[in-house]
Chains A and B, each alone.
Chain A
C-alpha cells in the first residue's frame, strides 16, 4: 500500500512537470487546444448538421447516435491523455533518440515513467466536448434512469479506456522491433474509435462480426447501448452478453501489458 502511494505521488509529480512545461507558452497552448477541439467539433457537426435532412441513421435518432458517439469519443480522449506515452509515435521517438534507455536507468518503475511521458493537457477541452455530446445523448435517448444504467455506462467508458489503452500499449511495444508497420495499428485505434462511434448494424455483416468476435470492440459500448435502449442484441447473443461486455476491455489491457513485459525484456536484451 505504501508502495502504491509512493508510485502515485511520483506519477503526479511527473505530471506536474509536464503541465508546467506545457503551460509555458500560453498562446501556443490555447491555439493547440482549440485546434484539437475543433477537429472533433467539425467531425460531429458534419453528422449533426445533415441528420435532420435524412431523419436518422439506419433507424437511430440523433440522441441515440450522440450516446454512442459521445461515449466512444469521451473514452478515447481520456485514454489518449492517460496512455499517450505508449502511443507508437511518442514511444518510438524515445526508443530512437535513446531517451528510453534513460528511463531504464532511473530509480523509478519504467511503466510509470512511460505513462507520465506524454500527458497532453491540450486534450482537456475535447473531453468537455465529448462529455457534452454524451450528455445530449443521455437526455435525448430513451434510457431508463437508474443505478443499473449508470453502472453499465460507467463500465462501458472504463472498458473502452482499457481496450484502446491496450491497443496503444501493443502498438508502442511493437516499436521495440519495428518502426514502420506500427502504422497498421492506426486502423485498430483511430479506425476502431470511428467504427464504434456509429450503430454497428450499418456495417456489412463480416465487418461487424470481425469487430465483435475477433476484435471485441462491439462488446465495449455497442452491446451495452443496445441493452439500455431495449433493442435486441445481434446474432441472437444472450442479453447478459451486454452486461459483461465491458470486461473485454480489461482483458485486452492485461494481455497488452503481458506483451509489453516481453517487449521490454527484448529491448534490454539487445541494449548496448
Chain B
C-alpha cells in the first residue's frame, strides 16, 4: 500500500478553518483526561506519597545548611512539588502512543487527515498535557502548598518567564518523545528503546535531583543535551535560581533545542514515512 502525503493546505482554505482541526483535536485530548476520575485520584495519592518521601530525602541532605547551590530547603520543597506536578503533563515516565499507532499500521489513517502528522499529534498532546495539568498538576501544587508551603515566582516578569518556559519545556519534551517514538518505523523493538530513553530523560531533565546539585563535570555534560530544557530550566526560573539576563539566556536555550528537535522530527518523520511506503508497497 502506498501512503498519500497530506495535501498541501491551499489558498482556498482560510486561516481560521485551518486552525479548526488542531483546536478540536486539542479539546478532545483535554476532555479525554477526565474520563477516569478514580484513576486520577489514585495517581494523585501515589504521587503525593512519593513527594513526601522525596521531600524527606532532600531535607535530610540539607541538614542544617541554609543553602546549597542556590537552593534553600524551601526551594527544594518547591522543586519537589513542581516536578511531582509535571510528571503526567510532561509524560516523564514515558509515552508510547505514537509508537503504537505505527506498529498497528494506523499511521496510514492519520496521514489521510488534511493536517500535518506532527501538528496533529502536537495538538492532541497539548490538550492531553493541559488536561493532566488541571487534573493532577494543580491539585499537587495545592497539596504541597497546604502541607509545606511553596515559593512562588516573585513578580509579573518572573511569572511570564515561567509560563513561557513551561510551554517550551512541553514543546521540547513532546518533540523528544515523538522522535523516540519514530524509532518504531525502523524497529519492532522500539518499546525497549523507549524505556531506555525515558530512563535517561529522568536523570537528565532534573526529575530525580535538581541538576544544580550534580558535580560540575556532569552538568557540563548535560548542557550538551536537550534534557535540562525539558524540566530543570522551568524549575530554576520558578524558584529564582536563574534570574536576570540568565533567565532570558535559559529561555533562548530552550527555544533553540525546541527548534532543533522540530527539525530532527521533520527529517526523521519524512525518512520514516518513506520507509513505510517501501515496506508497504
Contacts and interface: CB of A to CB of B under 8 A. Distances in A.
Contact of A49 (B43, B189, B215): B215
Nearest to B42: A183
A33 B203 CA distance: 18
B203 A45 contact: yes
A62 B191 CA distance: 34
Interface stretch (B21-29, B54-62, B262-270): B54-62
Given A52-B215, A191-B46, A58 B39 contact: no
Nearest to A60: B60
Interface in B49-87: 49-50, 52-53, 56-57, 59-63, 65, 68-69
Contacts of B69: 53
Contacts of B198: 35
A46 B208 contact: yes
Contacts of A41: 199
B214 interface: yes
A201 B24 CA distance: 51
Contacts of B209: 46-47, 49-50
A31 B195 contact: yes
B192 A38 contact: no
B196 A53 contact: no
Given A42-B208, A183-B42, A202-B56, A31 B68 contact: no
B213 interface: yes
B159 interface: no
A31 B192 CA distance: 5
B43 A202 contact: no
B193 interface: yes
B17 interface: no
Interface in A44-83: 45-47, 49-54, 57-58
B278 to A, nearest CB: 21
A186 B57 CA distance: 20
Contacts, number: 113
A181 B208 contact: no
Contact of A202 (B39, B60, B189, B213): B60
A31 B189 contact: yes
A58 B188 CA distance: 46
Nearest to B201: A42
Contacts of B195: 31-32, 35-36, 38-39
Nearest to B218: A49
B42 to A, nearest CB: 4
- Chain B contact residues: over half helix, strand or loop, or mixed? helix
Interface string B164-176: 0000000000000
A207 B57 CA distance: 13
A34 B188 CA distance: 16
A196 to B, nearest CB: 10
B45 to A, nearest CB: 7
Given A32-B195, A42-B199, A184 B61 contact: no
A187 B57 contact: no
A199 B53 CA distance: 11
B14 interface: no
B57 A202 contact: yes
Interface in A203-247: 203-204, 207
B219 to A, nearest CB: 10
A38 B200 contact: yes
Contacts of B200: 38, 42
B202 interface: yes
B68 A53 contact: yes
A154 interface: no
Contacts of A45: 203
A248 to B, nearest CB: 21
A183 B46 contact: yes
Chain A CB within 10 A, most for which of B42, B192, B196, B203? B192
A47 B59 CA distance: 13
Interface in A186-203: 186-187, 191, 194-195, 198-199, 202-203
A190 B231 CA distance: 24
Contacts of A35: 192-196, 198-199
A3 interface: no
A204 B241 CA distance: 28
Contacts of B203: 42, 45-46
B218 A38 contact: no
A198 B59 CA distance: 13
> Which 5 residue pairs are nearest across A and B when measured between Cβ atoms?
A31-B192, A35-B195, A46-B208, A202-B60, A38-B199
Interface of A: 25, 27-32, 34-36, 38-39, 41-43, 45-47, 49-54, 57-58, 180-181, 183-184, 186-187, 191, 194-195, 198-199, 202-204, 207
7 contacts: A42-B200, A49-B214, A183-B42, A187-B49, A198-B57, A198-B60, A203-B53
Given A35-B194, A35-B199, 17 more contacts: A31-B189, A39-B195, A42-B208, A46-B209, A49-B213, A50-B61, A50-B214, A54-B61, A54-B62, A180-B38, A191-B50, A194-B53, A202-B56, A202-B59, A202-B60, A204-B56, A207-B52
